[in-house]
């Protein structure tokens, strides 16, 4: 009888674990579907408004309109309300506050500076190009086999980095 009790306890234990896993799986599926809805709705001007809200933490309609050079305050209010309906912000006496950050995978490789979305790789390209130029100007004096490979690989790396910068600017989401 004690063996049957042990077997029943083990079965009950594993049944609880399976039940908990299925509940957590459905919760993550719901969160993923919410994230995909937010990602689909955050585009164009709404995305720029979201970025402004992300940078300022709290912003009014007029301030947003001036900051983004929107045509009227009603356009700013429309986009702020759209973000509020997504559950990312809330209206506090006319000022909109960010309450939740959206996970937008396509934008993780960009930085917002003012109204400009700049690819992060631009900073790496500028840095490595400057280092390569300093090497060529100050240290590259003797033509030997080793320095040829340094120049070759330095040129290829810089070419690749600037190609990536160009492609990121070309395929910007906004």
CA distance 140 to 144: 10
Query: Are 48 and 82 a contacting pair, CB within 8 Å?
Result: no
Query: Are 64 and 84 a contacting pair, CB within 8 Å?
Result: no
Please give the structure tokens belonging to residue 1.
């009888």
**pTM confidence score:** 0.54
pLDDT averaged over 10-residue windows placed end to end, the chain, 174 residues: 66 63 51 63 77 80 84 87 85 84 74 79 95 86 75 93 92 71
Residue 68: closest CA among 119, 120, 112: 112
| β 95-98/89-92 pair status | antiparallel
User: Please, which residues have CB within 8 angstroms of residue 172's CB and are 6 or more apart in sequence?
Assistant: 110, 117, 119
- β-pair partners for 112: 117
Residue owning tokens 């003797």: 142
């Amino acid at each position: 009888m004690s063996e049957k009790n042990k077997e029943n306890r083990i079965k009950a234990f594993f049944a609880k674990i399976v039940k908990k896993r299925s509940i957590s799986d459905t919760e993550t599926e719901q969160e993923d579907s919410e994230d995909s809805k937010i990602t689909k709705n955050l585009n164009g001007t709404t995305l720029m408004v979201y970025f402004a809200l992300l940078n300022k933490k709290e912003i009014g309609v007029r301030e947003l309109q001036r900051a983004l050079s929107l045509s009227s305050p009603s356009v700013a209010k429309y986009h702020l309300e759209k973000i509020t309906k997504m559950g990312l912000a809330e209206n506090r006496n006319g000022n909109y506050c960010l309450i939740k950050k959206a996970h937008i995978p396509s934008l993780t490789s960009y930085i917002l500076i003012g109204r400009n979305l700049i690819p992060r790789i631009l900073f790496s390209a500028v840095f490595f190009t400057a280092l390569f130029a300093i090497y060529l100007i100050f240290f590259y004096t003797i033509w030997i086999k080793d320095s040829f490979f340094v120049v070759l690989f330095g040129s290829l790396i810089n070419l690749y980095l600037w190609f990536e910068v160009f492609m990121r600017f070309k395929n910007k989401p906004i």
